[in-house]
Amino acid sequence: MSVKINLKDFYPWYTHDEFVEVPDVIAAELTADRRYEKSHKQRIRRNKSYYSLDVDDGIEASTMFNSSYDPEVALEIKERYCRICIALNSLPTIQGRRITAHYIHCKSQAEIAEIEGVSKGSVSISITRGLTALKIILRSLENQSNSCP
């Protein structure tokens, strides 16, 4: 037995209705997953102030970013994020990629070296030089008043 489902209901990247036939088991699983996600979001919203920051399930991050900040603090966070993005994009491609991999994606220098097929020393030097350049770029961006869109 098969059921016709709308993919737009289950996948956010579908912008228009797209209907497909799937077996009953898959339709039931998709529906159960959607219910679980909805109840999970409800629990986060309802209980956000009761989670400890030492819990490692991602709830604390969503709680911190959904809490109501002072507008000045929110603006400062946005501007700082924007300056970091501009500074990273100002670096040479290899340095920016390695710094992003190491500090944002939490990859070790050895992992980066293995992925790129270079020595760990060259990755280390590239990251060190990139961080030095980042400091200079960020200092110059802080002196500019409207560096972010």
Whats the size of the chain, residue-wise? 149
| CATH pick for 71-143 out of 3.40.50.2300, 1.10.10.10, 1.10.260.40, 1.10.3720.10 | 1.10.10.10
Q: Please report, rounded to a whole number, the percentage of residues in the chain having pLDDT higher than 90.
A: 26
- What is the rounded distance in angstroms from the CA atom of residue 136 to the CA atom of residue 82? 16
pLDDT digits (tens, 9 = 90+) for 30-48: 888 888 888 888 877 776 6
pLDDT digits (tens, 9 = 90+) for 88-109: 888 998 998 899 889 888 889 9
Average of pLDDT values for 66-92? 78
Query: Which pair of structure tokens corresponds to residue 107?
Result: 């990859």
Its pTM surpasses 0.95: no
Residue 9: its pLDDT value, please?
A: 83
DSSP bridge partners of 22: 3
The domain spans of the chain are 2-66, 71-143
- What is the rounded distance in angstroms from the CA atom of residue 99 to the CA atom of residue 109? 10
pLDDT digits (tens, 9 = 90+) for 11-30: 777 778 889 999 999 888 88
Query: Which pair of structure tokens corresponds to residue 89?
Result: 């994009």
The letter for the amino acid at 131 is L
Residue 122: its pLDDT value, please?
A: 94
